[in-house]
Structure formats: C-alpha cells, structure tokens
C-alpha cells in the first residue's frame, strides 16, 4: 500500500483523486472512487444547479467514505457553492482563477480546500488563499488547462510552495505515471481521462469507446468547442480533446465560427444530444494511449496502485 501524507490527511487507501470533470464525474463515479479508497470528486463544472441537485443526492446516498466537489472558479456562484457545501463534502476543489474569494466560506464549513493550478504564480496564489493541497496540472491533461508540461511544472510548483502538499495532474493514466510523480516528490495524482473511461462515468458509451480507441497524437488543445458553446474562457486556457471533423473544420477559423453561431450552435447541441462525436467533443488527455478498456472505477484504482507499487519497488535495483 502506498501511503503519503496527503493520503493520510483524507484517510485514503490510494493517493489518487478523481478529476472533477463537468458532466462526466457525477455522484455515482465520485462515490465509486471514494468507496474504493481514492478521493472521489463531483464535477461542478459551470454550476448547473439542477444537475448538481441530482448528482449530490447520488453521492450522499452511495458514498461511505469522504468525497468532494470541484468547480471552475471564475464561473462559480455563491448559490452553487452553498448548494454543494450543504451536501456535506469533505473537500472542495477550485480550478482556474483566484480562489481567495471563496476560500474562507469553504473553510468556515469545515471543508478542506484543494486548488488546481497551471503555473507557479497560480500556486503561490493558492497558497496565500489557504489551500490545503495544490494540484499542478500539466498541459497534457484532457479538458481545460494551460501551456506548461507536467514534468517541468510539478517540481517548480513544489519548490514554490514547499509547505503545501502537491499532487500531479496531466498525462497520468497508469501506475507508471503515478510512480513517476511520487518519485519526483508529489504526494499523489489527480486523474481525469482514465476515469472518463469507466462504467460509472456519465459520459456516453460512444465517447468512452473513442477514448479507448484514441491515441495521444489524436488530441489537440483548442478553443473551438468553447466558442460554439458560448463559453468565454480567459486568455491562456484552452481545452484538449480528441480531434474530430468539427475541430478540423474550424481550427484557424475561430472568428468565422463566432460569427456563425446562429446556425452552428444549435447543430452542435443536437450533435451532443445525439452522441455524434464527429461534431461534439470528447475531452481527453494525451494518456489515452494507455487506456484500452472501460472497467469499474474500483478496478482502475487497484490496477494503477499495484503497478505503481511494482515500479517503485524496482527502483533500488537501479543502484545495484
């Protein structure tokens, strides 16, 4: 068993956190990860209240161990925050932007605060806001993120905030990635794409199959899916997804796409409803090469940590 101070802080069997993927990490998946010994997170995303009501009810019903929820900081509302805090999570995670506005409210409810950052300045901002744990998210990860790679960003963040536990994220989907992060000094890892391709995830079966069949070279960071959905992300943040016909059509023509939303937006939402992933996106990280099945979340946790332990035990042989 791999026990780090972070794992001990939350009484985890495995030093793994479920990435709070909006629309994918629902209550069932969060509960499955937590019950299996990781830290499950409900993906609050853009703060849709009705969706949250359903998924929070599920995680409260099913989870027997600590769980949490995560939000996009710049899009979080006080009402959505209170809705989640009323459900009794053990931890809240904030990503993208200054967490200082909400840190006191979260901690006043006896909730620990995890902040995900994409650069060193963000790590210092999170530390100053009172983050209990910081996640250094590399650009290899699926969904929204910055431009720095995990391997360089992780030690830089650890050096900048030496008194705060740091987790690694971005491009980690098996035990080798977890072992590498631990050897570098991280206290665990946050994973999204690997848990997207699990039975409990809310994603459509066809989306999960695309992840299984996808390759890292098939992914790309883009703004086109935010433009067509009408989401105004701050400069510097793009989303990594599997390339499809829609991305290939509009990459490099973002201004034209923005001017044709009257026709393109309804068509996009219909495609999403119909699971037409030649148009709708499948957020996925570069580690899709390592994903070849859609097992239960508990099986994923066990497999990753068994592989990580095996790799870590082999390290001393390098010195013989």
Q: What is the pLDDT along the chain (320 residues), one digit of tens a residue?
A: 888 999 999 999 999 999 999 999 999 999 999 999 999 999 988 878 899 999 999 999 999 999 999 999 998 899 999 999 999 999 999 999 899 999 999 999 999 999 999 999 999 999 999 999 999 999 999 999 999 999 999 999 999 999 999 999 999 999 999 999 999 999 999 999 999 999 999 999 999 999 999 999 999 999 999 999 999 898 889 999 999 999 999 999 999 999 999 999 999 999 999 999 999 999 999 999 999 999 999 999 999 999 999 999 998 888 87
CATH fold of 5-202+294-319, please?
TIM Barrel (3.20.20)
Which residue shows structure tokens 């931890």?
91
- Comma-separated ranges of CATH 3.20.20.70 domains in the chain: 5-202+294-319
pLDDT at 320: 72
Q: Write the CB contacts of 100 (distance below 8 Å, at least 6 apart in sequence).
A: 125, 128, 129
Q: Write the CB contacts of 316 (distance below 8 Å, at least 6 apart in sequence).
A: none
Q: Write the CB contacts of 38 (distance below 8 Å, at least 6 apart in sequence).
A: 12, 13, 14, 16, 17, 18, 301
pLDDT at 1: 80
């Amino acid at each position: 068993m791999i026990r780090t101070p972070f794992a001990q802080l939350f009484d985890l069997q495995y030093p793994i956190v479920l990435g709070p993927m909006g629309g994918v990490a629902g209550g069932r998946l969060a509960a499955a990860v937590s019950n299996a010994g990781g830290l499950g997170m409900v993906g609050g995303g853009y703060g849709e209240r009705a969706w949250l009501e359903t998924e929070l009810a599920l995680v409260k019903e099913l989870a027997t161990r600590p769980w949490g929820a995560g939000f996009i900081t710049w899009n979080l509302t006080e009402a959505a925050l209170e809705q989640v805090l009323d459900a009794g999570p053990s931890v809240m995670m904030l990503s993208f932007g200054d967490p200082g506005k909400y840190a006191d409210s979260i901690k006043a409810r006896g909730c620990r605060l995890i902040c995900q950052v994409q650069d060193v300045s963000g790590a210092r901002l999170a530390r100053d806001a009172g983050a209990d744990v910081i996640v250094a998210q590399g650009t290899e990860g699926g969904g929204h993120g910055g431009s720095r790679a995990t391997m360089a960003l992780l030690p830089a963040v650890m050096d900048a905030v030496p008194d705060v536990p740091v987790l690694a994220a971005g491009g980690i989907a098996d035990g080798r990635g977890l072992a590498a992060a631990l050897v570098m000094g991280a206290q665990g890892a946050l994973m999204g794409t690997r848990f997207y391709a699990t039975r409990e995830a809310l994603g459509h079966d066809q989306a999960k199959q695309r992840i299984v069949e996808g390759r890292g070279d098939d992914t790309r960071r883009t703004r086109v899916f935010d433009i067509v959905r009408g989401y105004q992300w701050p400069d510097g943040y793009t989303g990594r997804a599997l390339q499809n016909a829609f991305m290939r059509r509009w990459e490099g023509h973002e201004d034209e796409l923005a001017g044709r939303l009257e026709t393109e937006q309804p068509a996009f939402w219909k495609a999403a409803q119909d699971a037409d992933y030649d148009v709708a996106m499948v957020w996925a990280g570069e580690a899709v090469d390592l994903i070849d099945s859609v097992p239960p979340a508990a099986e994923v946790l066990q497999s990753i940590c068994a592989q990580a332990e095996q790799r870590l035990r082999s390290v001393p042989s390098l010195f013989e």
